[in-house]
Amino acid sequence: IGAGIYIQNHKEIYENFAVNRETIENELGIALTWTEGAKDCTIIAKLSADVQTSEAEWNRYFDWLYKMAIKLKAIIQKYNEVDT
């Protein structure tokens, strides 16, 4: 399961996040997957989950996804200092 930030055609925004990578990961308490493409960039938080065979864990997975989305929103608000 993944929750992330997708940045399209604004490398300077991605670079601003990347400069703060260690701080951001410490704030979230999780290592993120950082991918810088030619035009698009992503920052993804992942949770190892087997959604096909672990139906009993679905509530935990949804809780994680919900909480991570809120945390990522806060990260965007805090570190998105580039004018778009």
pLDDT at 51: 78
Q: Which residues of 45-80 are buried (b: 16+ CB within 10 A; e: fewer)?
A: beeeeeeeeeeeeeeebeebbeebeebbeebeeebe
Hunting for tokens 């938080």 — which residue is that? 45
Question: What is the per-residue pLDDT for 55?
Answer: 83
Give the pLDDT confidence of 14-63 residue by residue, as tens digits. Answer: 999 999 999 999 999 999 999 999 999 999 999 998 878 778 888 999 99
The verdict on residue 84 lying in a domain is: no
Which domain, by its residues, includes 12? 2-79
Count of domains for the chain: 1
How confident is the model at residue 52, as a pLDDT?
Answer: 81
